[in-house]
Homo-oligomer: A and B are copies of this chain.
Amino acid sequence: MPQYLSTSDRDFEAAFTALLGMKREDAPEVDEAVAAIIADVRARGDAALIELTVRFDRLELTPDRLCFSPGEIEAECAKVPLAEAEALALAAARIRAYHQRQLPRDESWTDDQGATLGWRWTPVSAAGLYVPGGLASYPSSVLMNAIPARVAGVERLEIACPTPGGEVNPLVILAARLSGVDRIWRIGGAQAIAALAYGTETIAPVDKITGPGNAWVAAAKRRVFGRVGIDMIAGPSEILVIADASADPDWIALDMLSQAEHDASAQAILVTPDADFAKAVVAALEARLTTLERREIAGASWRDNGAVIVTRDLDEAAVLSNRVAPEHLELCTEDPEALAGKITHAGAIFLGQWTPEAIGDYVGGPNHVLPTARSARFSSGLSTLEFLKRTTLAKMTPEALRAIGPAAEVLAVSESLQAHGLSVRARLERLNRG
């Protein structure tokens, strides 16, 4: 049964703390197997990749078949029906427009001492994007990962996408082409992450790897972190909806189910000051649930991880939401902007009843790769910034060095770093000699 809590319950704090601490995902222990796969790909390159692809994806490849050819890409794209192709193009354009606004500016200024300071942003040279095969092979995720990389100016963009038994989702290929990806590799799992991080005879190594994946992919990303940059390790999806009686219970129910249908470990939480409204949402949700294709998954998610919390007022709802730090937060209240002002931790906020979370998954513009498992307390969703890095710049004039160098020398000496002090002192002495 989903949990029903009220902040007026005597044991509310304990129950809410338990809800916060819930571990929704039991990742299988694959770390040792993953370490062996990575070592194998590092040692034997393409040969290992090809053997592992037979083993895991039941697919026989040769080095020149590892990569989709331009003709194959063309043929897959041609299979996409017009409505889907147009929808993907609209999504790509909106995601691109949003992420272009995220491009940060370089800065440079000269301070009162004459020191010129600043910073400069430069793109990562090459990025690899992992795209799961099978059921979770989402073209929208291709757009959400590849477009920010391209907007950032990443020069080389590789996709790894397993094609179990040779099957591929044509929309994934079209999404890759719309995003300007350079190459698509028919590889998956830990072996694909190893190939992207270390390179093989045919695959050039990248500097940053992003994209979702199963436990094997996640373990491999953790292992290659440091050698390359990675994005977050995403957990199961989650939504928290704060709603009042101004919202339509059926719409809220559908928004909650659109998280629940992702995965049995997904979580949907309703927080409302209105107990009757809460009942209406639950009734609508259970009615809709029976009609869904994915009713087993969504039902398990709702039963095991769902929650409804009745609060005294909307302020209290905001406080609880901030403690959850949800990945997705819908504010379906009369004045969503006022409520948004009280939100301190959330991956993405959807304001008002005309903004179902699903809009953000596809065509809103903001990224749908967002921090899960309460990590919105300290991290952000994917953005253009994740494919850029900042280099700080400093230039002293002789006058600036005369003004601030002595303090640096004092601190260097206090830290017993004599050469640090001497590197300043030698220059100051030249100045003093005139």
Residues of A near any B CB (own CB < 8 A): 83-84, 86-88, 90-91, 94, 97-98, 101-102, 104, 107, 109, 111, 115-117, 119, 122, 124-125, 135, 138-140, 171, 207-208, 226, 228-229, 233, 248, 250-251, 254-255, 257-258, 260-262, 288, 292-294, 298, 336, 340, 343-367, 370-371, 373, 375-381, 383, 385, 389-398, 400-401, 404-408, 410-412, 414-424, 426-427, 430
> Taking A378-B229, A423-B251 as contacts, is the C-beta distance between A140 and B415 under 8 angstroms?
yes
The answer to whether B378 touches A208 (Cβ under 8 A) is yes
Min CB distance A226 to B, Å, is 7
The answer to whether A391 touches B140 (Cβ under 8 A) is no
> B86, B255, B395, B419: which contacts A407 (Cβ < 8 A)?
B86
Distance between Cα atoms of A385 and B383 in the complex (Å): 13
Residues from chain B with Cβ under 8 Å of A207 in the complex: 377-378
The answer to whether A251 touches B426 (Cβ under 8 A) is yes
With A258-B412, A348-B392 known, 18 other A-B pairs at CB within 8 A are: A84-B410, A87-B408, A115-B364, A124-B378, A139-B411, A248-B430, A260-B419, A292-B419, A340-B393, A345-B391, A352-B396, A353-B427, A359-B424, A361-B408, A362-B411, A364-B394, A364-B396, A376-B391
> B83, B94, B125: which contacts A404 (Cβ < 8 A)?
B94
> B102, B353, B420: which contacts A361 (Cβ < 8 A)?
B420
> B124, B293, B426: which contacts A250 (Cβ < 8 A)?
B426
The answer to whether A359 touches B396 (Cβ under 8 A) is yes
Residues from chain B with Cβ under 8 Å of A98 in the complex: 117
